[in-house]
Amino acid sequence: MQFASTLVGAIGFDPEIRGILVVLVGVVVLMGSVFLILSTNSGARAAFLLLMSGTFSWMVMMGLLWTIYGIGFIGRAPAWMATDINFSRDTPVSQVPELEQIPPAEDLPNAVELLDQHPLLHALVLGAEGPEYQPATLTKLKTVIEPMVIVSKSNLRPKAQGALENAGEILDVNPDLAPLLTNRGDALQLRVHAEAAELRQKIEDPIGDWCLLTESDPRRGEAVASADGALIAEEAFGSPTETSDYIVEDVFVFGGKEPCEPIAEKSVASRSWHRVFTTIQVKNPKLLGAVTLVKAEDVVVAPGQAPPTATAEPGASMVTVAMLRNLGNRRAIPFAVTMVSLLGFIVFTTMLHYRDKRAMELRAAFTGAKKA
């Protein structure tokens, strides 16, 4: 009795009992009303076969939509799974040997120096971000440079005007830039496209087949969130580990279907072929991820004051969270629903077919006997 009372007390009216009542009422009112109408015209057995055939045909169509668009009654969604938290790049990661292609942070090119090598781009960046802007990491540099690879004239014009106002020192050293920035023709756009593509290539060359994600790339946010979960679960920076204990630097991906460069940069034919090829590609290529971060310096914040900007702890080593993309089974369950519904549709329509044939045979026999 005590167990029964405890069980009943654990069941709430909302949503448990309410959900059961909604389903029962839906079945009785919707399916029951259709069955009642059919049974008055065709009989109980034929009405049941017609009702189940219609129900399963509707489920087949619904399952196909669920399978194509990955919605409805779906399985596990794709997600990043952390395979290793590497506190020193000197230690190889057996699960992700491709990680060795990424050079240590001290061997990567300096973002400020790379930008200084391209005065035109530097001036345009200052015009867009402000006169005091300096890229702290390669990720920040690629984030501001990548849109310039295909920037339009209308979007380039305000950047050029801002460069004339904010990049005075660069324009003094490079007097040929001022006439170019005031040019309304194609010369400025073509040169910006070429230099932006060249600078981006300098960023990507040292990391081999890996791809450095920009801050605007949606894949970066998902990878960082998964890395946060792994670091907090493993208490990588003490107990408890919080996201304020470290600073995320760069996020890299390796493999997968999507190219490193934005697909919008390619021609219409190339984009169309990429869409078709990735759709018919049966086996997904392996997709790896690496999130690099560094421990933040511990600070004491006085009551009522805002915390200062996070800075890296002096001498702290670069930590790398290696991850593997788990593709999940998002469409497996709706596909199974579609196949089961198709089987039910075939069974009940076949029963209807043989029932009709038998009825026609009996009708023909009765008609023949009556004529005789």
Which stretches does DSSP call E strand in the chain? 79-86, 211-212, 246-255, 287-295, 318-326
From the number of C-beta atoms within 10 Å of its C-beta (0-12, 13-18, 19+), residue 206 rates as middle
For residues 256 and 325, is the Cβ–Cβ distance under 8 A? yes
| pLDDT digit string, tens, across residues 66-84 | 998 888 888 888 889 988 8
Distance between CA atoms of residues 372 and 362, nearest Å:
15
pLDDT score of 3? 47
Report in angstroms the alpha-carbon separations of 24 from 31, 51, 305: 10, 17, 58
pLDDT score of 281? 76
- 320: helix, coil or strand? strand
Report in angstroms the alpha-carbon separations of 263 from 91, 93, 233, 258: 35, 31, 35, 8
Q: Residue 13 gets which letter from DSSP?
A: I
Helices (H), 13-118: 18-26, 32-42, 44-69, 111-116
Q: Indicate the domain borders of the chain.
A: 2-74+332-371, 78-101+210-300+308-327, 103-209
Can you read off the two tokens belonging to residue 283?
Answer: 């086996």
Residue 9 above 60 pLDDT? no
| pLDDT digit string, tens, across residues 211-267 | 999 998 888 989 999 999 989 988 888 888 888 888 888 999 998 888 888 887 788
